[in-house]
Chains A and B, each alone.
Chain A
Amino acid sequence: MNQTVNQTVNREHNRLNQTLKALKDEGRKALVTYIVNGDPTRDATVPTMHEMVAAGANVIELGVPFSDPMAEGPTIQRGHERALMHRVSLRDTLDVVKAFRQTDNTTPIVLMGYANPVERMGYDAFAKAAVEAGVDGLLTVDLPPEEAEPLDDQLKGVGLETIFLISPTTKAERAEKILSLASGFVYYVSLKGVTGAGHLNTDEVEAKMASIRTMTDLPICVGFGIKDGASAKAVAKTADGAVVGSVLVDTMGAMSGEPAQVIAEAVGALVAPIRQALDEL
């Protein structure tokens, strides 16, 4: 993947690339876990991140709350709404990453969110603040490659990876274009639908995976509709990793009144069996 990006920073040292490469060398699958920053409380996020890592998560995808999360199903929408009740912002999310980094400087963190909060902060300011906080990559759901280049240049310039989605509707010619900008890993959307949907078709995923493999050496992680060890294992047979989100967010939402550490441990207890299932591969 030799793009024309200005590589002012050596990205091999990026935690995301290092972690995914190490997993591949060990023959293990990546477990990517998603929660929304500030959901259900501001205090819950950092302990939950640590517990997920302790339970075997390899990459943390941290959702940046947005008022209009168009690509999310009802579960994650409610997570965004809960976080916004305490006005959790993009800047707060960078502070959370900073706090997490005080005791964990190896687990990669990818922020997942929508374009407008980043636009508002300014691409340049965001890129600098994110790398300083200890972020490793960004996935902007509503920023397809046609609109992504100005932000992509800023992020790559400071050594951050830009993760792009490829979906069941993406044609080969278009996938090539996406892959020319993509870095870190490819996020394959397993189904036509929103996050947390229930109609995952693993045969279809397998076929698509084979076709993407012919176009890129980047690791491929599969998300949307993965609920447990069995579904994670099913998609990870052909992929390099699985992304789990809604099932964690659902549990956190149901525990709104609980102390942060109790929430964190409950999430860890959900992550551990998924790790086990992936390690059976």
Chain B
Amino acid sequence: MTETVTQPNFATFPDEKGHFGPYGGRFVSETLIEALDDLDALYQRVKSDPNFQQEFDKDLAHYVGRPSPLYFAERWTQAVGGAQLYLKREDLNHTGAHKVNNTIGQALLAKYSGKKRVIAETGAGQHGVATATVAARLGLECHVFMGAEDVKRQSLNVYRMKLLGANVIPVESGSKTLKDAMNEAMRDWVTNVDDTFYIIGTVAGPHPYPQLVRDFQCVIGREARAQCLEQTGRLPDALVACVGGGSNAIGLFHPFLEDTSVQMYGVEAGGHGVETGRHAAPLTIGVPGVLHGNRTYLMEDDDGQIIETHSVSAGLDYPGVGPEHSWLKDLGRVNYVPINDDEALEAFRTITRVEGIMPALESSHAVAYAEKLARELDKDQIIVVNMSGRGDKDILTIADIDGIKV
């Protein structure tokens, strides 16, 4: 564990301008400022409104299927041979990942705002599916921006979104991946700002998004903390979650930040290896910069141009990261570590065979790091791993790697 500096009172961040220390903030063109002010005012109001909270909790219980279990993976623990491994089963949520916790919350905000049109960006398509799902349920018009490359790679999710009634718009600009989809969603929002609610899928973007997405995802950590205490009588020794934009990780970590005995590990996509330059690990070797409305660690070149990323997992294939993670890295409260494509794939196969649980390729990065960590800890220590999503969406990718045509 890195030596920690004096820790702030995490619950009071971000400040009113959306800053987490030097990170976060609001770096957008002027036309969007009023929309962000309105969203912030709405969110600050409903946050303490019991009716909103009740509606949110009810949807999480009866529509998403929460609480998700905290599951002791006994066979996996034995196979690894170290600390006890517990899985927080976000893969069991409706739509198959943690993403829906946030889209339920933001769709409720959209409803309170009176806006009838929602837009979203998506990489792997999980956030797009989760948005299309809640839009269908609330009868909202839904447009999802998706990089043209990702549309090709994730055809199954594209079709799911279409079945749900969403309009999927392939983005042909730039590198044709998630970051370009986010640019295009911002452009749509600027143009249709009067009637459109932008549902951002991760804890990045301009304030208040990093805050409100975190708050909606914190249900993961609150449940996990209570479940761990109930099942084991104590807090876990370590938490492990994958980090792309970082919403599942912040959701798990945040409710434990004041528990100084709990170590935390955010696992980035090491791709072909961080030394090759073909990866998506801005916290591991990036530098602070400004992109998509916030200041945070980024992957960029010497001229400040954002560079293309690589990961076998489309959901981690993003050059930035949520600003709160950048701050937690600098504070030394969370350790950020890379896991390569190969390691993630191997972990995917192991846990699938010993537990009958098929993780998403994103979550497989957390699974792989948890195995390494477990071997370093004692057998009576406890690690909680966020199983952020299920792997059904990745079967074609895995088959392709295996050289099998499905």
Contact = CB atoms under 8 A, between A and B. Distances in A.
B33 interface: yes
Contact of B28 (A67, A144, A164, A197): A144
Contacts of A115: 27, 290
B305 A142 contact: no
Contacts of A171: 34
A43 interface: no
Nearest to A188: B30
Contacts of A141: 29
B307 to A, nearest CB: 8
A194 B34 contact: no
Nearest to B36: A144
A187 B193 CA distance: 20
Interface string A109-123: 000001111111100
Interface stretch (B39-47, B138-146, B156-164, B179-187): B179-187
Interface stretch (B76-84, B238-246, B262-270, B296-304): B296-304
A74 interface: yes
B303 A170 contact: no
Interface residues of A, number: 46
Which of B187, B193, B306 gathers the greatest number of chain A CB atoms within 10 Å? B187
Contact of A90 (B29, B173, B292, B303): B303
A194 B30 contact: no
A77 B34 CA distance: 25
Contact of B30 (A81, A121, A167): A167
A169 B300 CA distance: 32
A143 B27 contact: yes
A203 interface: no
A165 B30 CA distance: 6
A118 B306 contact: no
A192 B194 contact: yes
Contacts of B32: 169
Contacts of B30: 144, 164-167, 169-170, 178, 189
A146 B191 contact: no
Given A68-B179, A71-B29, A142-B27, A116 B291 contact: yes
B367 to A, nearest CB: 32
- For the side of the interface on B, what is the size category? 35 or more
A168 interface: yes
Nearest to A120: B304
Interface string A93-127: 00000000000000000000011111111000000
Contact of B291 (A68, A90, A144, A192): A68
Contact of B34 (A87, A119, A170): A170
B174 interface: yes
Interface string B166-190: 0000000110000110010011001
Contacts, number: 122
Nearest to B31: A167
B21 interface: no
A91 interface: yes
A144 B186 CA distance: 16
Nearest to A142: B27
Contacts of A66: 304-305
A174 interface: yes
Nearest to A71: B29
B111 interface: no
Contacts of A193: 31, 190-191
Given A70-B183, A164-B30, A116 B300 contact: yes
A116 B290 contact: yes
Interface in A46-92: 65-74, 77, 81, 84, 87, 89-91
A147 B27 contact: yes
A61 B290 CA distance: 22
Contact of A144 (B27, B187, B287, B298): B27
B320 to A, nearest CB: 10
Contacts of B289: 116, 119-120
| Closest 10 pairs (CB-CB, A-B) | A120-B304, A117-B304, A89-B303, A167-B31, A165-B30, A169-B34, A193-B191, A115-B290, A67-B305, A71-B29
8 contacts: A67-B307, A68-B180, A68-B291, A81-B174, A90-B303, A115-B27, A119-B289, A143-B27
Given A70-B29, A166-B30, 19 more contacts: A67-B305, A68-B179, A69-B183, A70-B187, A72-B187, A84-B305, A114-B290, A116-B300, A118-B304, A119-B289, A143-B27, A144-B27, A144-B28, A147-B27, A165-B30, A167-B31, A168-B31, A169-B32, A194-B190
Interface of B: 17, 25-35, 173-174, 179-180, 183, 186-187, 190-194, 287-293, 298, 300, 302-307
